[in-house]
Structure 1
């Protein structure tokens, strides 16, 4: 008979699921970029996305809300008199059974019976005082004696369960030998902790202790420090439990503790244990309290567990807030999250941590020289590609733009080809490329029939007619009105889309981004994307045109193209000493020097398009007059259409009015 190997399958427990799909960062990157362009820092933008979550994913705020709800449920469900109620029930049972026995015992001396009945009748109203008063009572009923002894057993197990989780169940029906073993463990534990406090313990001491008493510690600590951590957290929760009780409840329990197992030595050992733990872990919360107002009574052990749960929930709330210095989602305790909120919450927490890690470690965010996070060039390219794709969709809806075969990166094809060089964007000549590969393969002794492997030297591209390359200036208004009127983010999205188009599909062109507010300045795309809105008055178009002219002069062989985006008339100009002069309404001198600089650029052959945002009549008149002076164009798009308008005008200038197919450049 053939033996068959048997396999058993179970949940993977070695960490994150190795077969889980990779984290999709597209949504996160888009959300972060949108907030960055609105003026948030990349760090703040990433934190905001993680707090909000995605379309189909909870965020940190959702998890924090569930943590708070879980905390409220625990406080609203329980009260802390469970052990006192159990003791009272056992006491009532013992007294009742004793009275029954006295009534049945006809042989008992009447005087003795009367004395016993009076003793039972006059027990103190305090449960603890009654239990202590009956400590030396000579029970006549075996059932009553058993009930009273169960009080001592219950108290001992509950008090131990406060310090060692699960001890209440483990010591149920315990023998004298079991209790002796507990006393021996406590004595050895205190000796170990005493030595640890003095710095005299060794690893051999810990190993010897665990070999003898390790079965009392299901947490399986691997060092004395781990042992102290586990014990101190539980002991501190036990202290908070007592602080959460009323003064009367606390007093009752303190009196009852003397009856625990009928062993004063036990309480002495536990007192020493608490003293050792408080000395070793003073940073634990030993004095806090909670307000319980529920209906479900808790015993000392279970109540201590609830206090530990509350402490764990507070730690999770702090981790989820990410409000402390150096916070990262890697700090999130996923095991605690699963214990308190379920496995789905742990999966959500792990996914959010993966997104944060992938954004920072995967190249989308990087630290600048100032130590703060910034969008990386990789992130900028991905965003630019996405925005350009959106722009292409907008342009595709316009009439008369999709009726040509002209490629976006070159002019008309000449019919000849040449070898590919780095930076070429012309289409491949597939026939000649394959022919080159076949010839090279045969020359190398290979068999083309068994497959071809292309080499860079095989590639030929189709030659096109020479065209004029362009030096393009995108001149954008960054006065505060742009942000106040909701045009700030569309302006940045436009710049990203145009930058990506020029840098990937029209590499022969040169693009310069210039911003102008009170002053003008050149910026790279990363600086413009992260630029915050400033409450600064001034629209210094004059300075912007001066910088544009400098850029055009640096590229004298290229066609100068100006794309100007503004929502206000010029209200500032540059003085001879480099200072900016501001005046509203616009000063005649500001208009004069601005128009003079525009005329100078117009005489140099600049093609200009003015993108007017808003319906200000003064701006409309000013822009129209400037366009007429230099033969430029005026476009008045809505803010949401600005990207398509600017890209469309760039392509129109690039192809000199010829129609183009956006499918050729938007891929």
Structure 2
């Protein structure tokens, strides 16, 4: 609500809030949007395409661009299937038939020669409605009913002509007298003078203001400048021209001929023709040559037909805006007022929400531009995706009974919130408040008057002691991982483990290693955005070499190697750096791979293989690998991959400190 003071007595008038965004509207919830974008990115879609796909799809409570576009085309189709442009011609024919029948009824009982002559005149009227109306312009009607019907033709043509060029004039034109017709003619003359002056470039704001003071009632749009006036008039005039273009040649010629009888004043049609010429010159970019097929049963008059054509043009413009396919497109480009006119209030709300969503994703720093101008997920977005992935993993693990972290004190641990009595050898920080409290209570209980801290008073902060680990997560990125829908679970697993280590076990060192034809080390952002590539080869040998190098950099840490793969090794790395691929695997490939497993075993590394799928040859190989390296094999389903990897990491890194 907004409040406006409306009288000197400090009273206030309350009404709907209209000045900018609603301050009470709930903030845009980015969680679902980010997860949707993250899933698409991890599945191999670029961040820009993922954002565009989200906006096309929409969210749970907001229609997307595709739904809004579909509704636009439905609305367009309905306009064309329900209506036709014969309304004015049909109405004029009906009024003309009524006038002729009434006149003949009045002449029939009259035996005079004048009556017979008049009947002969009526029988000799030329073919065609427009020709007959023009021929009867000077006819002296005997029947009052006939005279009124003919006058209705003139008024109808004038009303339709004006309404086809001036939107919102229908009610003002319904009851008009001769003085009103003259007022319209003067307005048209002044309007054309103003437009001609504007076309020459010698018009002034004072001239426009004077025109609006004299004729503002004809312009409900309330334009503030000549430019705004021209915009409104040109759009309507172009729609009227497209309506004429959409008629058959016979209909078009007949209607053009009838317009000479608008309000019984040929000068009005001449002024409209001049107006159209001026507007064409001022706005050549409007669509003056288009047309649309109207094939329904509902006849539209000229004013209604022009409005229908304007609606069709507005629908086409909205469809282009919603497509976002032109250079520099933004959701802020969507004309919300036009969308509301065509599809209603809810469509306006949905489009505004989508624009807010896109803007907030950028403002919140979840998407950022790289040096080459492309979009990528920001570190903040990756953290949020990691939180979501880890949360899903932990939810899966809740139903499984696992080991607890030790709660013993340790210098490298994290506070648990509890304290414990100091013992010889403890190096933890003192809990000062509890130590002083113990000294005060002890002194008071013994009746002492001087507080002194003694050894039994000291309490230290209890921490969780965790062994420091160096972790190498090796993930298979061969094409089979993409082909068998294992790509996304693999990335979600890496995100979850990365989030766990960087937030809970910060002293651990994680290295992410991918292996296809060759292996590579990636950061979490690069792995998240990694696209699947058609490439043959599963070079576990190269991955283990990189894992070995990572573990050697951290000699004091517990070595942990986690391998996620769906195929046996089919490639190895030669000393010159060339990757050799062969299927079935070469003996040299298997030998080199197992040799690296042996090296890791000598380091005391814990090696766990997460075997995806039921490949028999892979099962035989990982069984050998487990026996040689003293490791173990886990065969999780895709839904349980993340929880299996995280659970194994926690199991292998737990260590209990002995006092």
TM-score between both structures, scaled by the size of structure 2: 0.89
CA drift at 1:490: 0.3
Give 1:428's aligned residue. Answer: 417
Give 2:364's aligned residue. Answer: 362
1:418-450 deviation per Cα after TM superposition (whole angstroms, max 9, x unaligned): 9xxxx97432358977939999xxxxxxxxxxx
Q: 2:213, 2:294 → 1: CA distance?
A: 40
- What does 1:18-417 correspond to in 2, within 5 Å? 18-105=23-110, 110-399=112-401, 401=402, 404=404, 406=405, 412-413=408-409
CA drift at 1:46: 1.9
Secondary structure of the equivalent of 1:413? coil
Secondary structure of the equivalent of 1:314? helix
Give 1:500's aligned residue. Answer: 499
1:302-349 deviation per Cα after TM superposition (whole angstroms, max 9, x unaligned): 111111111111122222222222222222222112111111121122
Q: 1:520, 1:359 → 2: CA distance?
A: 33
Secondary structure of the equivalent of 1:169? helix
Secondary structure of the equivalent of 1:292? coil
Secondary structure of the equivalent of 2:202? coil
Q: 2:616, 2:462 → 1: CA distance?
A: 49
CA drift at 1:575: 2.1
Secondary structure of the equivalent of 1:563? strand
Q: 2:647, 2:37 → 1: CA distance?
A: 27
Report which stretch shifted further, 596-605 or 66-75. Answer: 596-605
Unpaired segments of 5 or more residues in structure 2?
1-7, 421-429, 438-458
Q: 2:551, 2:620 → 1: CA distance?
A: 27
CA drift at 1:653: 1.0
1:593-651 deviation per Cα after TM superposition (whole angstroms, max 9, x unaligned): 22222222222222211111111111111111112112111111111111000000100
Q: 2:260, 2:143 → 1: CA distance?
A: 24
CA drift at 1:657: 9.7
Report which stretch shifted further, 29-38 or 259-268. Answer: 259-268
Secondary structure of the equivalent of 1:609? strand
The answer to whether residue 461 in structure 2 is matched with residue 472 in structure 1 is: no
Q: 2:409, 2:57 → 1: CA distance?
A: 51
The answer to whether residue 627 in structure 2 is matched with residue 612 in structure 1 is: no
Counterpart contact for 1:562–1:606, Cα < 8 Å: yes
Counterpart contact for 1:574–1:581, Cα < 8 Å: yes
Q: 1:436, 1:206 → 2: CA distance?
A: 84
Secondary structure of the equivalent of 1:291? coil
Give 2:446's aligned residue. Answer: none
Counterpart contact for 1:425–1:505, Cα < 8 Å: no
CA drift at 1:236: 0.7
The answer to whether residue 638 in structure 2 is matched with residue 642 in structure 1 is: no
Give 1:665's aligned residue. Answer: none
Unpaired segments of 5 or more residues in structure 1?
440-459, 659-667
Counterpart contact for 1:514–1:544, Cα < 8 Å: yes
Secondary structure of the equivalent of 2:625? helix
Distance 1:561 1:491, change over 3 A: same
CA drift at 1:578: 1.9
Counterpart contact for 1:77–1:293, Cα < 8 Å: yes
Q: 2:623, 2:584 → 1: CA distance?
A: 19
Counterpart contact for 1:427–1:461, Cα < 8 Å: no
Counterpart contact for 1:320–1:332, Cα < 8 Å: yes
Report which stretch shifted further, 160-169 or 239-248. Answer: 160-169
What is the count of residue pairs matched by the alignment?
620
Q: 1:373, 1:185 → 2: CA distance?
A: 55
1:67-118 deviation per Cα after TM superposition (whole angstroms, max 9, x unaligned): 1111122112211111111211221222122222223446xxx322212101
1:276-325 deviation per Cα after TM superposition (whole angstroms, max 9, x unaligned): 11122122111111111222211101111111111111122222222222
Q: 1:509, 1:91 → 2: CA distance?
A: 94
Distance 1:63 1:430, change over 3 A: farther
CA drift at 1:196: 2.2
Q: 1:622, 1:270 → 2: CA distance?
A: 88
Counterpart contact for 2:103–2:143, Cα < 8 Å: yes
Secondary structure of the equivalent of 2:534? coil
CA drift at 1:130: 0.7
Q: 1:15, 1:77 → 2: CA distance?
A: 38
How large is the RMSD of aligned CA atoms in angstroms? Answer: 2.5
Q: 1:301, 1:437 → 2: CA distance?
A: 90
Give 1:652's aligned residue. Answer: 651
**7, 13, 18: which one aligns with 1:13:** 18
Distance 1:616 1:220, change over 3 A: same
Secondary structure of the equivalent of 1:153? helix
Q: 1:72, 1:461 → 2: CA distance?
A: 78
Secondary structure of the equivalent of 1:599? helix
Q: 2:308, 2:511 → 1: CA distance?
A: 63
CA drift at 1:10: 3.7
Give 1:450's aligned residue. Answer: none
Counterpart contact for 2:514–2:521, Cα < 8 Å: yes
Report which stretch shifted further, 427-436 or 248-257. Answer: 427-436
- What does 1:444-593 correspond to in 2, within 5 Å? 462-464=461-463, 467-593=466-592
Distance 1:298 1:378, change over 3 A: same
Q: 1:554, 1:204 → 2: CA distance?
A: 81
Give 1:598's aligned residue. Answer: 597
Q: 1:367, 1:437 → 2: CA distance?
A: 53
Report which stretch shifted further, 222-231 or 504-513. Answer: 222-231
